[in-house]
Amino acid sequence: MENIPVFDSRSPDYKRPYGAVPSGTSVYFTLRPPRSAGFSRAVLTARFESRPEDELVRILLPWAGLEGNRDLFSGVLPTEDYVGLVWYSLRLEGLNGDVQELGEYQLTVYDGSSQVPAWFGEGCTYQIFPDRFRRVQVPDPTGMVGGRSVHTSWEEEPDYRPDANGEIRNRDFFGGSLAGVIEKLPYLHSLGVETLYFCPVFEAPENHRYGTGDYEKIDPMLGSNEEFSALCQAAHTLGMHVIVDGVFNHTGFVSRYFNGDGSYPGVGAVQSPHSPYAAWYQFRQWPGEYESWWGIYSLPSVNEDDPSYREYIICGKDSIVRRWLRAGADGWRLDVADELPDSFVHELHQAVRETKPNAVVIGEVWEDGTTKIAYGVRRKHILGGHCDGLMNYPFRNSLVSFLLGEDAAVFREAMETLRENYPPFAFSSAMNFLGTHDTPRILTLLGVGSPCGSESRDWRARFRMSPEQYALGRARLKLGALVLFAFPGSPMVYYGDEAGMEGFEDPFNRRTFPWGREDRELTQWYAALGKARRECGALRRGDLQWLRAEGPVMAFSRSHHGQTLVAAVNAGGTPQTLRLPWPTRDLLGGARFPAAVPLPPMTGFLLERI
């Protein structure tokens, strides 16, 4: 029986152009119902979500002829000066009263007026949790804010038990520093890293530094402002960029702005309602009751709409966003981007482009960035002029599920949904990853199969994988890393994943880097993938074509300027065969294959057409 759909939103035979379109684009639609169905009329109904009262537009799709035994109904939907989502449905009507409804479907219309720098999405990114990456000496915390303690041994376990008040204060430090990162730049370069993404580096009382104490100052345990610029310069010399974490939804309770404990000499919002910073915060009853991030008292929320706050962070000539770009940074990653007003993100994006035109803005969003609703508002994250790319949690979640046994077709469908919904710049500039500081260590998750959330924190602190679990986790991780490095978007490696670090959730995923105890097999695998990503134009800029996605087998190609590479993995326990139209060579191991490529269990290849 003929298997031709009436409509396929992803095929140019039915909708042109493919996927998201720049504002002003005319979108062409064609329906292909069977002639035998007797349809005589077709209508497209489009709901322009960002227009007043979800404006509805109905467009007749006139009969356009026959194609074999199929009627053709075609028409055009103009987008004019619109930016936002369009939800459209299709209706076929017959003279006998029969009706067929199709949809609704999503059409993303974005502002295509600005150019997005390509460098971020082309190369590999490495995420550094600064306190735990590399220290050159044990620091003395005397005089530093926050009542810090320092672990003498680099191998000790991070504090994870609550204190006498039932709080986990995160005031234990290991003393990783910018000097340590500079020392290890050759190592990072050997991995093929092209972008360093730092968790917060500004002065803060906690080891994670997400409760900023002073945006103008590198935390003294990490080094100085001058050392930050020196790091950026050294990274640039090696062809690397530097992205820093911007935490602008809240500050620290211990900060020069809120100054909840009076540790800073100035007059903070708690010392006086007339403080220059008082309007930044939302007091229910001054000074003890205030809005805070997720109710965490140590992270008082800021009012991002306050003019003086925007002037300080974004708009001023020497604003925080501008000064750190001038100091050497090449972009900002926005913490909890969906909790920042769209207007704030837009102004920040403008300031970034004005200050350093080739710098990027990457947002932390855990869902599809086109459909994200926060605080009752559909967000504009990647509609142009806001974020250049987003952290790709849908990629991570779908890939982990595949590696743990889910059908490859589910991963392909999730990625094709993103590719259809996202503007091309956002799909290409996505920050793809398997692990971050907010997720369990990927090696442990893949080796054990779950985050073991029902176990006690003491149990999770003591837990180490058995040799069998470790071997399984490593085999799965190698396959996942292959997909990660071959897929469009920037492959991001969380520090130590390439070295075999274990651990469940925070703080067990934030242990210190195991210098001298790395898993050499994993490190060499990541280095080979990084080399391929840096040297192969097909992986940096190539198109994406699915060759197979069923059961445990996933294979897709990337092609660019005559070079074609194929990522092929078998995540199952039985041998498989991938049939290609040409012979290939594995870039990672050197093996050559005819058109039929054998895929033993838990095996992956990066194949170059020869």
* pLDDT single digits (tens) 192-234: 999 999 999 999 999 999 999 999 999 999 999 999 999 999 9
Q: Give the pair of three-digit tokens for residue 7.
A: 């409509």
Is the CB of residue 521 less than 8 Å from the CB of residue 474? yes
Instruction: Please tell me which residue in 364, 420, 497, 519 is annotated as part of the active site.
Output: 364
Alpha helices in 250-341 (DSSP H): 307-310, 320-326
Which of 276, 273, 180, 302 is CA-nearest to residue 230? 180
pLDDT of residue 164: 79
Over residues 512-523, the mean pLDDT reads 98
Over residues 458-477, the mean pLDDT reads 98
What is the pLDDT confidence band of residue 3, given thresholds at 50, 70 and 90?
A: confident
Catalytic site residue 330? no
What is the pLDDT confidence band of residue 19, given thresholds at 50, 70 and 90?
A: very high
pLDDT of residue 1: 43
Give backbone dihedrals phi and psi of 368, rounded to 5 degrees, phi first: -60, 120
Per DSSP, what are the bridge partners of residue 607? 566, 586
Is the CB of residue 5 less than 8 Å from the CB of residue 92? no
Question: Number of C-alpha atoms within 13 angstroms, CB side, residue 436?
Answer: 20
Length of the chain in terms of residues written = 610
Strands (E), 95-138: 99-110, 124-128
Residues 6+ apart with CB under 8 A from 363: 333, 334, 337, 338, 345, 369, 381, 386, 387, 389, 390, 391
Cis status of the peptide bond prior to 12, with omega within 30 of 0: no
pLDDT of residue 168: 84
Say if residue 134's pLDDT is above 70: yes
> In angstroms, rounded to a whole number, what is the distance separating the alpha carbons of residues 597 and 313?
54
Which of 600, 48, 606, 28 is CA-nearest to residue 378? 48
Catalytic site residue 227? no
> In angstroms, rounded to a whole number, what is the distance separating the alpha carbons of residues 478 and 443?
10
The single-letter code of the amino acid at 53 is E
Residues 6+ apart with CB under 8 A from 27: 15, 16, 17, 21, 76, 77, 78, 79, 107
Over residues 460-465, the mean pLDDT reads 98
The single-letter code of the amino acid at 69 is N
Per DSSP, what are the bridge partners of residue 196? 126, 242
The single-letter code of the amino acid at 535 is E
Is the CB of residue 100 less than 8 Å from the CB of residue 92? yes
DSSP 509-536: GGPPP-TT---HHHHHHHHHHHHHHHH-
Which of 157, 238, 219, 242 is CA-nearest to residue 507? 157
List Cα–Cα distances, 83 to 48, 110, 370, in angstroms: 9, 5, 12
Is the CB of residue 280 less than 8 Å from the CB of residue 300? no
Q: What is the dihedral of CA 475, 480, 485, 490, to 10 degrees?
A: -140
Chain segment 399-458, per-residue pLDDT in tens: 999 999 999 999 999 999 999 999 999 999 999 999 999 999 999 999 999 999 999 999
Q: How many helices (H) and strands (E) does the chain have?
A: 16, 33
Angle between helices 393-403 and 467-486 (to 10 degrees): 130
DSSP 531-593: HHHHH-HHHHH-EEEEEEEETTEEEEEEEETTEEEEEEEE-SSS-EEEE-SS-EEETTT--EE
Give backbone dihedrals phi and psi of 251, rounded to 5 degrees, phi first: -120, -175
Instruction: Please tell me which residue in 172, 335, 502, 519 is annotated as part of the active site.
Output: 335
Over residues 148-167, the mean pLDDT reads 92
pLDDT of residue 222: 98
Per DSSP, what are the bridge partners of residue 432? 491
pTM of the model: 0.97
Chain segment 23-74, per-residue pLDDT in tens: 999 999 999 999 999 999 999 999 999 999 889 999 999 999 999 999 999 9
DSSP code at position 360 = E
How high does pLDDT run on average in the chain?
97
Q: 3-class DSSP state for residue 4?
A: coil
Alpha-carbon torsion 206, 207, 210, 214, what sign? positive
Over residues 526-531, the mean pLDDT reads 98
pLDDT of residue 424: 98
Say if residue 2's pLDDT is above 70: no
pLDDT of residue 488: 98
Is the CB of residue 209 less than 8 Å from the CB of residue 202? yes
From its phi and psi, is residue 496 left (phi > 0), alpha (psi between -120 and 50) or beta?
Answer: left
